[in-house]
Amino acid sequence: MLQTSAPDARLASDHSDLTTPSADGRRVVIVGGGFGGLACARAMGRAALDVVMIDRRNHNLFQPLLYQVATAALSPADIAEPIRKSLGKCRNVRVLMAEVVGVDTTAKRVLLADGQTVAYDCLVLATGSKYNYFGHDEWQEAAPGLKTIREARQIRQRLLSAFERAEATSDPEEARALLTSVVIGGGPTGVEMAGAISELGRFMVGRDFRNIRPEDLRVLLVEAGPRILAAFPEELTDYAADYLRKMGVDILLGQRVTDVGPGRIAINGAEMAVGAIIWGAGVKPSAAARWLGLSGDGRVPVDSRLAVEGFQDIYALGDTALALGADGKPYPALAQVAKQQGHYLGKALNKRILDGAVAAPFIFRNRGNTAVIGRNAAIFDFGSWRLKGRLAWLLWAIVHVFLLISFEKRLLVSIQWIWRYITRQRGARIIDEDPHL
Q: Which residues bind a second copy (CB under 8 A)?
A: 7-8, 10-16, 56-59, 75-78, 80, 82, 84-85, 88, 94-98, 148-150, 153, 160, 164, 167-170, 172, 175-176, 207-213, 215-216, 408-409, 411-412, 415-416, 419, 423, 425, 427-436
How many C-beta atoms lie closer than 10 Å to residue 107's C-beta? 11
CB of 336 to a second copy, least distance (A): 24
Separation CA 124–CA 77 (nearest Å): 27
CB of 98 to a second copy, least distance (A): 7
CB of 418 to a second copy, least distance (A): 10
How many C-beta atoms lie closer than 10 Å to residue 297's C-beta? 14
* Active site annotation includes 174: no
Closest CB to a second copy among residues 37, 186 = 37
Strand blocks (E) in 150-247: 180-184, 218-223
CB of 146 to a second copy, least distance (A): 13
Determine contact, residues 226/188, Cβ cutoff 8 Å.
Answer: no
327 CB burial (10 A radius; 0-12, 13-18, 19+):
exposed
CB of 170 to a second copy, least distance (A): 4
Closest CB to a second copy among residues 189, 416 = 416
Write the Ramachandran bin of 151: left for phi over 0, alpha for psi from -120 to 50, otherwise beta. Answer: alpha
Phi, psi (rounded to 5 degrees) for 241: -65, -45
Closest CB to a second copy among residues 299, 409 = 409
Separation CA 399–CA 29 (nearest Å): 31
Separation CA 75–CA 333 (nearest Å): 25
Separation CA 142–CA 428 (nearest Å): 22
CB of 257 to a second copy, least distance (A): 25
Separation CA 221–CA 191 (nearest Å): 8
User: H-helix or E-strand containing 31?
Assistant: strand 27-31
Distances (CA, A) of 418 to 27, 288, 372, 409, 413: 45, 41, 16, 14, 9
Of the residues 151, 192, 199, 223, which is catalytic? Answer: 192
Closest CB to a second copy among residues 154, 369 = 154
Closest CB to a second copy among residues 272, 322 = 272
> Catalytic amino acids?
192
